[in-house]
Amino acid sequence: MIAVFGRSPLGFWSLRLESPPVLPKLGFWDSGSDKRTGLSVGVVTPVRSKGFWSVVAMERLQMACVNEKVYNVGDLGKDGSDLVEKSTNGHVTVSGRTVSQLATIGNSTNIMWHGCPVDKVERQKLLKQKGCVIWITGLSGSGKSSVACALSQSLYSRGKLSYILDGDNVRHGLNRDLSFKAEDRAENIRRVGEVAKLFADAGLICIASLISPYRRDRDACRALVPEGSFIEVFMDVPLQVCEARDPKGLYKLARAGKIQGFTGIHDPYEPPLNCEV
């Protein structure tokens, strides 16, 4: 970024950003008149005192707005000291506060995140627990669903609210339109990850039980929730043991060629490298 400083005849400082991407039209507060001032594309004109923005502040703001359509960020602080921390899911976080913006997310255009005063912290206080995602992964027949149910029952006995997202169960409804092709399996995991994130945000202990054979898909789900809120559990059971169990008869069908792309037989399973359990 190239920043050029100047001083107008009125005594106001100016900061011009020379490098792309240019800033959208925003607004900030004039600490002298206590009125919000427009912020032109690529040009910032703060007041001489506390309203002065550093190059670092503007650089972070510019990075947060790249590839986003920001029309009204709102109050960025009366003294100009608030810094944009991140821009995700159609909203910008400014010094711990969330402000809305119109955004394009995937194929959805002109959408805006609508915040609510009852947030995750309040919901966790109500439930007296911390929301998180417990992701159980492993081969078919490794015992994922059995462990998930046992865990849920144990939590219930302790007065903790949990919900299980089982791989087969979600395909009865939410993911009934997905097949077992590679691209659909990835979408299956993505959707479950997004739902798990919502459950955790609601303050629930979400137990996701899926084969989820690929590390990249599991890591993408981990990235959806705050650090420390994703607990990956690897059912480290050898293929021979899982096939001997074969509770659903799927291995037998796969060996007979009646099921294609079956994990462990036709397709690989990538064990976690740094799982919590």
Three-state SS for 81-97 is CCCEEEEECCEEEECCE
Average pLDDT, integer, range 121-139:
94
Pick the residue with more confidence: 63 or 272? Answer: 272
pLDDT at position 261 is 86
Q: Which two tokens stand for residue 135?
A: 């992701």
Where is mean pLDDT largest: 29-43, 172-186, 191-205?
191-205
Give the separation between CA 182 and CA 164, rounded to whole angstroms: 24
Average pLDDT, integer, range 193-210:
96
Task: Mark whether 212 is an active-site residue.
Answer: yes
Whether the predicted pLDDT of 114 surpasses 50: yes
pLDDT at position 206 is 97
Q: Which residues contact 123 (CB under 8 A, 6 or more apart)?
A: 131, 201, 202, 203
105 confidence band (pLDDT: 50, 70, 90): confident
Handedness of CA 43, 48, 50, 52 (dihedral sign): positive
Give the separation between CA 152 and CA 160, rounded to whole angstroms: 9
Q: Which of 140, 152, 212, 229 is catalytic?
A: 212
Average pLDDT, integer, range 100-129:
86
Q: Go through the domains of the chain in sequence order and give each one's CATH number.
A: 121-256 (3.40.50.300)
Q: Which two tokens stand for residue 147?
A: 């462990």
pLDDT at position 213 is 94
CA 245 to chain centre: 36
Q: Which two tokens stand for residue 4?
A: 């050029």
